[in-house]
Structure 1
Amino acid sequence: MTTIPTTPPDTDTDTMDVESVFWEARPELAAVRQYARAAMASPWAVLGCVLARVALSVPPVVVLPPLGNDSSAVASLNLFVGLVAPSGVGKGVATRAAEGFLSIPPGGGRLIVERPLGSGEGMAHVFTDQDESGEDVPALHSVWFDVPEVDTLTALVGRKASTLASEVRKMFTGEGLGFQNADATRRKIVPAHSYRAALVAGVQPRKAGPLLDDAAGGTPQRFLWMPATDPGAPDVLPPAPEPLSWCSPVLATHAGRAPLHVAGSIKAELQAERRARLREELTDDNGQQSLVRLKVAALLALLAGRTDVTETDWHLGDYVMGVSDRTRQRMREALHADAQQAVRERAEARAAFDEHQDHAAVQRTASKILARLTSEPAPASGIRSGLGKNLRDYFEAATDELIRRGLVIRTDDEYRGQTRVMLHRRG
């Protein structure tokens, strides 16, 4: 069995070699990479979008099993993906490539509809239909929430009294959505695990600050961050492979919930982490990351046509999370570099302003000194004390300037046994 690396490589050369081990671990992964490069898209971005489409194609009855003995504490496969690249790279190419790669025959998966992200109140409406009697029922479609630019998401979340952030976080785990309202036409309640959703956002690293800053709320930890760039892009495009013919292993006709089978060793690892958090032995903000990893592992299993999540799926998911972590760290480094540059620019601007202010103050001081001098020598100390307090610090510089310009002469004499500096106008 191929050994899957569990940590990101240290160098770009190692990156190419280790990534090849990942992509060649399974035929469908190799096909994703080839299809992406044939489309001149990032393999990681295409993989993230393929996993999102797999999640959307599987009915919402398919859930991740609970860690404890509470059979109701299941988790959803709903997935959030951030496609990270500078402006102009073309993150939309990855979403189109993923759609072309995954070929799902009629009846092989749920209908996927694309919707923009709006308000928290409006979100529930896209997951409900009405039956013949006019009653709300769960929609038969899955929803791909498309956010082309991350600042759209942060603007929506940042609106005063916005409920979007909390609804988005609930959507990630498949919790119930909606709000009570006196107006029945506006009252939409979506039961937990009755819907399927994916949120895919294009992210320019230098615009991701507000989203990454919401670590306390847990929003960035819920995302799978995939680079939309490809340092290993070949000079010669490979031929595009045939689309992958795929059907959901569980169809919508399945009665009741269908928890995926997760290997005992995986559950034991997750339980140990959960126990450490309960005991406050682990207090970081990355509690959601293990759930994202489990979702990735489960979606890789489903992509392979299985409903059991194996240790190999778990290791593959760990490598994907390593890519995600590294991508998020690079965003933070870009934001930090921008912040440092902004500090330098402010300091330079302040220094230039101060220099301008100092120059103006020297000129004002020189004018006042010149106005007080005659052709008769006068003590420099007396001239200085006659200036305002705010100009005395500039006396030496102003005097030097006047002497350099040939307007003032400085001499020394002795008064009561002490040497003193005298100034007078030239000629």
Structure 2
Amino acid sequence: MSAAESTTSHGFSQEELDRVTAQQGLVREHLDARRPLIANWIERFENDGDDTIIQLVSSWKAPVTRAWQQLTADAVDLDELAQRVASTANWGLHLGASRRVAWDADNADGTAAFNAAGVHVHIVSPGSLHPQHDHAGGCTALHRLPHWVPDVRLTGPTTAVTLANGGKVDVLAGHHQVVLPLSVVTYRDLDGYTGSYMTGSGAGYCAAERDGWLLEDQGESLELPLWALSAEILAYAPEGTVVGEPPAGLEALAGTVSIWRQAEKKTYTSGEGSDELTEAIGELDLLTMLEEAGVAGERRGFFTCGPCENWLRAGSDAEKSITVHDCGEHGRWVQVWTTGIPTLPQGGHSRLDAFIGLTGRDIAEHRGAEMARLGLVKPRDFGGVTAEGLEDEADELEARAAAGETTVPGPPAPAGADIVYVEVGVDGLLQRAQRCREAAAVMTANQPAATPMSDATFISEVMIGMETAEEDEGAADRAVNDNTDDEDKPDNGNGAPDKGDASDGADDEPEVEPARVVREYAGTPPREKEILQYPMPDIPAHVQPVAGATTSWREVLPPLANFRTHDFVAHEWIFSATPGLSHVAAAADARGVTRWGLLGGLLPRVAGAIPSAVRLVPPAAEGYEDDGSDDTSEDGEGEGTSINVYSVLVGGPSSGKTNTMTAAAGLIPSAVAGVRTLPPGTGEGLLKEFPRPYAADDDGGSPADAGAPTIGSVGGDGSSILLESDEIDIFVGEMMRQGSRTSGWYRSMWMGGEVGNTVSDKDRRSFIAAHSYRFGILLGAQPDAVVPLFAENGRGTPQRFVWLPAQQSVRRGTYPRRLKTAEVHWFGAGPSMIPGSVPRPPVWISPPAAATEQLERDRWRAASSDPTAVAKEADRAEAIASRHAVLNQLKISVLLAALDGLAQPQDTHWFAAGAVMEVRREMISRLVAETDEAKAEGKRVEGAYNGIARASSDAAREAERDHHVARCAAKIMKALVADAAEGKRARTYQAAIRVLSGKKLASGRSDRELYGRAALAAVQASPSVIDDGTYVRFDGTKKAA
């Protein structure tokens, strides 16, 4: 078999290919049997009018249309589809467009549960009728959605639901399709088993009265039971709707149909975070390239995630060999499903690597040459060592070998010493030449072209930030400008024009700086270094206006975003949903910082201005029983949850974290809020900063510790402290100090708990009663500095922080120096008659009605959790984002209500706080990914340094190996010469290698094992040796060069 044949067939025998051809005869029999039935099914679909029928590939069940998820019933020509099905095509039902949900029983136990519950049956696959199929005994039941369910994309669990009897059921909705009866499929993994999809009664799974299609023909709607819908969807049900309970055996299917939301992970968009080489590789048309290269295979429709095409190599028994992704979820990756391709392992690959592997070549060896062949890269110098220089060196080595030279210079000798030459033989010189050429190819392949992208599309030239003259006479000076007077003076990074370098070439192309113009969003996310203005997102329909707010409204400008904050724009509706947040947006715009960052900086200060007696009602308050007592002297002592808030503003170096914190401090100064700000320090030192509850200690008459202020001595009652630092390293450094109890105290203080210590030395005692203080934390953090705090995941420390992005932005509009939100009179509008040394009675904050469902769900999660479970490393992002999330959202809703001048949060504040939590969740996900990447990069750098350290020893080892290879090659050549002299026939490759000693050396391996292949290769390269592909022999009539 020639190399070309093995490349295109991947080793499949003609017998295997003939078997595949024979299967086509079975397919034709089923196709002939279904043709008379097609008209009846078309009539059924036309009478229904609501179902969207799509074409599937012949003999299998994947859609043939690239964007099949966007198809609707109006876009489908049933007559044309009938003609294709009458030929060889299959068909399927688009669940989302048809407003259907499918219960797909994966096994016989699932079907048994359906039968016991009286569930109808629509479809039975051929695989279900085969005892060796993975889903033998399964079936599919279709349901219609109630009319009041909104037209949104729905989804089910990502894995099969396990029923009480062990049955497995996939709940399918939205972008899923089910194969319809009459479709003919061939299961290659079942030795070519071929069959047709059937109705429930046609397959004998049920009687006619339970056949779903026949029931629909009789006018039955077969709506999805309401108990299968999530609470989020049931909120749309008409008032008085009875949900009902699931029948016995199907309880696990309750609430499994929900509204689909984009997965909380980075989506891949062309141009986002990728260089030009990555983009170019992603543009390769892999399947066309395979066809042009003669690789045998066929296109097999599209995968469920988007316009992602499947491909099946010739002779394979699988349903697909690869999927070429081109979607927002997977980018332009190639997923290899099979393990049967020797040169392309199972898993994910770039389109370039997949092409190399599918053409039967080693990926690492041929990647550089293939990139050069496709024009993806161009050569570039490596600091004096160039690809051309290596090629020249290879030419020189080959010329010396042809001239009969056999030595190379040895290791560098001391000054004045003679140069030592090492004997490597002709073959050693040729091997060195080959390595030079390989290095040149790798050097060339690793150089991406550095031409700037020029395909940016700008829809509008609107300049953002230009106020009118009446608003601000100096607005023009603050407008974001395009190139002006310094057009020919590029910035050197220090704010001054670069003077250039005298050695710079006159014909060097200057770097093109993007125009600093904010343009309107036109449907395409911003590129790197771009800022776009977006339309103001609509306030969701379920969010009602705030009632009774005393804070006045401010005008809210359209949001701005860059290529990384683009994902947060959808949540900016909150800034136009409440009057308090409209002030936050206006203040952030006027100070040139992002709204999310300023909100994060204000939250701890808003909380710090609220008296410590204000707290959330105890979770167990509804279970209290009135005992008739009138004693309220200790009413609520220690009960409830504090509204203390911790914030972290995340941003890169010099990006605006400190500016944001300074802006927040200016809007709510510490003196105005009655808050003292402190830098990070020891936990003991922090506790002593809080006032003692009494002026004397336990012994009576002794003065209180002079280092601890008494109530009322500092800023109000002195019980409100904000720990603030724009560098998280300082905070974490003290918190992680060995033996420090600071971390545990911070966690308790977030809840408002009692903290302190009891020691024999009264000067070292510290104690703070529960809910007698207000404490907040505000930190600035660079992404790579959060690793130590994330390491506290198992203890619940990072879960207590609100992680929000903070950076500079375009300055727009004006706003007063102080935050102009209304004051909240927590104890009434009149002056208090309670002395400052007497604790206030609690002021209880109740959760809004909209929070009830989430609070109950959170309680259920906690009640059903494993009390001994330890958070797993792989679940860090989810654990940090989800634990304490409900309580954090409730605290934020209280603070948002306070910005509106309200003492109690409303549903609107709860929903707005939920949007803040969504931004927090995305930030946590990104930070976990960034920290993981930083760890991986550290390992790679460490490996690179280790590689350099090993380079010198590798050189010595190579010289030693070259010597032994030459020695063994001489021994093989001697044997071949002897064979020729005695008239013996040629030796096989293995026989030639067996000339070498098989005795184990000190290394534990023999000459035969260590050098056999390399020595044989050296012999094969000799001009006096004839190699016919299997045998080698010495030809005495030929002369060595």
Normalised to the residue count of structure 1, the TM-score between the two structures is 0.80
Corresponding residue for residue 216 of structure 1? 794
Q: Which amino acid aligns with 1:16?
A: V
CA displacement 1:5-58 (0-9 Å, x = unmatched): 99xx99966743541x21111233122122222222221111112121111111
CA displacement 1:213-241 (0-9 Å, x = unmatched): 322100111001110136xx33x532234
Give the Å deviation of 1:179: 0.5
Helix, strand or coil at the partner of 2:740: coil
Corresponding residue for residue 395 of structure 1? 1011
Q: Which amino acid aligns with 2:726?
A: P
Alignment CA distance shift 1:5-1:348 (3 Å): farther
Corresponding residue for residue 680 of structure 2? 117
| 1:322 aligns to 2:939 (yes or no) | no
2:933 to 337, 341, 344: 337
Count of residue pairs the alignment pairs up: 408
| 1:100 aligns to 2:653 (yes or no) | no
1:131 to 695, 719, 722: 695
1:49 to 586, 590, 601: 601
1:183 to 743, 752, 761: 761
1:84 to 641, 650, 653: 650
Give the Å deviation of 1:388: 4.6
Give the Å deviation of 1:91: 0.9
Give the Å deviation of 1:337: 2.4
Corresponding residue for residue 295 of structure 1? 891
CA displacement 1:240-282 (0-9 Å, x = unmatched): 3453234343269473111123334434541442144123399
**In the aligned structure 2, how far is the partner of 1:4 from the partner of 1:151?**
43
**In the aligned structure 2, how far is the partner of 1:412 from the partner of 1:387?**
29
Alignment of 1:228-243 (within 5 A): 228-229=806-807, 233-234=809-810, 237-241=812-816, 243=818
Alignment CA distance shift 1:187-1:410 (3 Å): farther
Alignment CA distance shift 1:389-1:365 (3 Å): farther
Q: Which amino acid aligns with 1:27?
A: P
Corresponding residue for residue 740 of structure 2? 162
Alignment CA distance shift 1:125-1:293 (3 Å): same
Give the Å deviation of 1:127: 1.0
CA contact (8 A) 2:966 2:1015 kept: no
**In the aligned structure 2, how far is the partner of 1:34 from the partner of 1:385?**
83
Helix, strand or coil at the partner of 1:216: helix
Alignment of 1:229-378 (within 5 A): 229=807, 233-234=809-810, 237-241=812-816, 243-245=818-820, 246-250=822-826, 253=832, 255-267=840-852, 269-280=854-865, 285=879, 286-345=882-941, 357-367=953-963
Alignment CA distance shift 1:384-1:150 (3 Å): farther
Alignment CA distance shift 1:103-1:366 (3 Å): closer
Alignment CA distance shift 1:4-1:243 (3 Å): farther
After alignment, is 116-125 or 301-310 more displaced?
116-125
| 1:150 aligns to 2:150 (yes or no) | no
| 1:31 aligns to 2:587 (yes or no) | no
After alignment, is 378-387 or 325-334 more displaced?
378-387
Alignment CA distance shift 1:82-1:39 (3 Å): same
Helix, strand or coil at the partner of 1:51: helix
1:75 to 632, 635, 641: 641
Aligned CA-pair RMSD: 4.1
Alignment CA distance shift 1:104-1:220 (3 Å): closer
Alignment CA distance shift 1:210-1:105 (3 Å): closer
Alignment CA distance shift 1:279-1:419 (3 Å): closer
**In the aligned structure 1, how far is the partner of 2:582 from the partner of 2:608?**
22
CA contact (8 A) 1:128 1:188 kept: no
Corresponding residue for residue 612 of structure 2? 60
Q: Which amino acid aligns with 2:585?
A: R
Bigger helix share: 1
| Relative contact order higher in (CA < 8 Å, ≥ 6 apart) | 1
Give the Å deviation of 1:287: 3.5
The answer for unaligned runs of 5 or more in structure 1 is none
CA contact (8 A) 1:78 1:174 kept: yes
Give the Å deviation of 1:63: 0.8
Q: Which amino acid aligns with 2:662?
A: R
**In the aligned structure 2, how far is the partner of 1:197 from the partner of 1:226?**
19
**In the aligned structure 1, how far is the partner of 2:795 from the partner of 2:854?**
25
CA contact (8 A) 2:645 2:801 kept: yes
Bigger strand share: 1
Give the Å deviation of 1:314: 0.5
CA contact (8 A) 1:384 1:395 kept: no
The answer for unaligned runs of 5 or more in structure 2 is 1-537, 544-560, 625-635, 835-839, 870-877, 976-992, 1035-1039
Q: Which amino acid aligns with 1:214?
A: E
Q: Which amino acid aligns with 1:280?
A: S
After alignment, is 295-304 or 340-349 more displaced?
340-349
CA displacement 1:81-137 (0-9 Å, x = unmatched): 01011122131111111122237996xx4x211112222222211112573762475
| 1:16 aligns to 2:569 (yes or no) | yes
Q: Which amino acid aligns with 1:294?
A: L
